[in-house]
Amino acid sequence: MSAVSQANRDIDEIDLIAVSKKKSSDDIRKVINFDHLSYGENQIQEVEKKWVDLKKEFPSLKLHFIGGIQSRKVKAIYSHCDVIHSLDRMKIVKLFSELETSHGLSKDYFIQINTGDESQKSGVLLSEADQFISSCIENYNLKIVGLMCIPPFDEDPQKHFMTLSNMAKNFNLSSLSMGMSNDFKVALKCGATHIRIGTKIFGERP
């Protein structure tokens, strides 16, 4: 990928998540046939509809949950997804922690930060982020690997990506889930380790 080399990054340190929301199992299989392993969904209903069978058929696939999390959906997300990108409330953290304790199966987690403090968007507010991250790391036995953000649509994404990058460094978190089809090149230059690409892989959604 030319964007990786332009950002002076190593392709091996980037996880390209093919965001398959609203796409059919047949569309996903076309991408799987290119040996791509990482996929992202934002609704558990779509996960249950498509990915139970796909993961039986292709057990090496890794499924990332990238959407907002309702507490009543936590158990299903835990059951079907390998990486959760959107921890943003302590109630959700506690539920995942309880599931891990009872099932003995560890997942990877990102904490979603609302870097633009947007009232309509999920994520921990900037003013509460340090305390939330500290509590997740110190009080719950979850594998917190990094931070995630979705910058405001009408703002320069670079300042938001740098805010997330600096915050992650403060907590020695190595992974940054940031960058989508419209801004992944900027995200890579700012240190993204996980980029979430839908349109540029699958085309426009229906």
- List, for residues 163-206, the tens digit of each pLDDT value: 999 999 999 999 999 999 999 999 999 999 999 999 999 987 66
Strand intervals (E) in 12-103: 15-19, 38-41, 62-65, 83-87
pLDDT digits (tens, 9 = 90+) for 78-89: 999 999 999 999
Phi, psi (deg, nearest 5) at residue 120: -90, 0
- Mean pLDDT of all residues in the chain? 94
Structural domain spans, the chain: 2-202
C-alpha 196/C-alpha 20 separation (Å) is 10
Q: What is the pTM of this model?
A: 0.95
pLDDT digits (tens, 9 = 90+) for 125-154: 999 999 999 999 999 989 999 999 999 999
Burial 45-60 (b: 16+ CB within 10 A, else e): eebeebbeebbeeeee
The 10 Å Cβ neighbour count of residue 26 is: 8
143 strand-pairing partners: 108
State how beta strands 83-87 and 194-197 pair: unpaired
**What is the CATH class of 2-202?**
alpha beta
